[in-house]
């Protein structure tokens, strides 16, 4: 995993925003959505924790720095994992079957077959008519 570092630590404004967003996320997910979907009673702890985060964000945002650092590390790790999963899926679902199908159909759009009788593999470009350049679409 590559080491991406941020040269400067977050300021009070960024930490304050982080506190508000984190509090809203706690209330939204753990206080409203999950209990509603799972049909559980509404818990109090997300509201209390969100209140603590809002108070910290307003009064002393520098106290949120360790949590912000941890949250960014978790985000980087999840981004690294998700990138591999998504690119792997794109390769095995789109690129690999397309290449396999083209091999079965013996298509070679890049004209990679070697021909010893040819002096050059250069393909002359076609000159576009002037009208096409004036109104391309």
Give tens-digit pLDDT for 54-107: 999 999 999 999 999 999 999 999 999 999 999 999 999 999 999 999 999 988
Report the C-alpha gap between 21 and 64 in whole angstroms.
12
Tell me the average pLDDT across 96-125.
87
pLDDT on residue 48: 94
Q: What is the CA radius of gyration of the chain?
A: 28
pLDDT band at 120 (very low <50, low <70, confident <90, very high): confident
pLDDT digits (tens, 9 = 90+) for 4-62: 555 568 889 999 999 999 999 999 999 999 999 988 888 999 999 999 999 999 999 99
Handedness of CA 72, 75, 77, 79 (dihedral sign): negative
pLDDT on residue 5: 57
SS3 category, 19: helix
pLDDT on residue 110: 83
Q: What are the structure tokens assigned to 1, written together?
A: 């995993």
Report the C-alpha gap between 55 and 49 in whole angstroms.
10
User: H helices of 6-128, where?
Assistant: 12-25, 34-38, 45-59, 65-90, 96-104
pLDDT on residue 119: 86
Say if residues 18 and 54 touch (Cβ distance below 8 Å): no
pLDDT band at 115 (very low <50, low <70, confident <90, very high): confident
Look at residue 3 and tell me whether its pLDDT is greater than 80. Answer: no
Report the C-alpha gap between 127 and 18 in whole angstroms.
56
pLDDT on residue 4: 58
């Amino acid at each position: 995993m590559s080491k991406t570092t941020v040269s400067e630590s977050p300021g009070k404004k960024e930490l304050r925003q982080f506190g508000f967003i984190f509090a809203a996320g706690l209330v939204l997910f753990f206080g409203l959505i999950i209990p509603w979907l799972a049909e559980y009673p509404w818990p109090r702890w997300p509201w209390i924790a969100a209140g603590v985060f809002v108070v910290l964000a307003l009064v002393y945002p520098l106290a949120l720095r360790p949590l912000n650092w941890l949250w960014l590390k978790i985000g980087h790790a999840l981004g690294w994992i998700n990138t591999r999963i998504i690119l792997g899926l794109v390769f095995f679902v789109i690129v690999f079957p397309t290449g396999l199908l083209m091999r079965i159909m013996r298509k070679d759009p890049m004209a990679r077959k070697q021909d010893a009788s040819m002096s050059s593999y250069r393909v002359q470009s076609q000159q576009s008519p002037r009208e096409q350049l004036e109104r391309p679409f």
